Amino acid sequence: MAILNILRYPDPRLHKVAKPVAEFDERLQKLVADMAETMYDAPGVGLAATQVDVHERLVVIDVSETHDQLKVFCNPEITWASEEREVYEEGCLSVPGIYDGVERPARVKVRAMDQFGKAFELEADGLLAVCIQHEMDHLMGKVFVEYLSPLKRNRIKTKLLKEERGQQRDGGARAAGGRR
């Protein structure tokens, strides 16, 4: 297993639409294991393949406190969403340190396959429902900050780009013997 690199917003690769998982083979099993390890290490509760620059319809989620209830969704589709909506404070491994309220359906039903190609259906509410919808947005090339106002979105983009430039500068200084 390996820790994968998580793309950071506003990386344009986060806006690619994912293609269906076609083969349930060893490569997919390794990808699922690597994504799970990456998600737990981050730490997070969900990760879409898009976030690790693999543009296939694959999501891993574990909202348990004990990190031992991994759910794998290949080619997920929401078959029903409640009319009732809730605002949930969301964050994202691709948008580190940023949290904001996003309104979504309170309950959803999802149809998907596990990493072995076995079909299943699941009804979810609470954090699991939010997480499923959030990660499925990634598969469609959408990041949660796109639900926010243009002003907030631009502030977030500016902040993250500034942080990235600072990290690159600091990394270069360390490589040059610590001098700036």
**Hey, which residues are catalytic here?**
135
Assigned token pair, 97: 């340190």
Q: Is 15 annotated as a binding residue?
A: no
Sorted by sequence, the CB contacts under 8 Å of residue 180 that are 6+ apart come out as: 169, 173
Check if the beta carbon of residue 101 is closer than 8 Å to that of residue 88. yes
Q: Is 134 annotated as a binding residue?
A: yes
Assigned token pair, 13: 């690769």
Check if the beta carbon of residue 38 is closer than 8 Å to that of residue 4. yes
Q: Residue 76: is the preceding peptide bond cis (ω within 30°)?
A: no
Q: Is 92 annotated as a binding residue?
A: yes
Binding site feature residues for Fe cation: 92, 134, 138
Binding site feature residues: 92, 134, 138
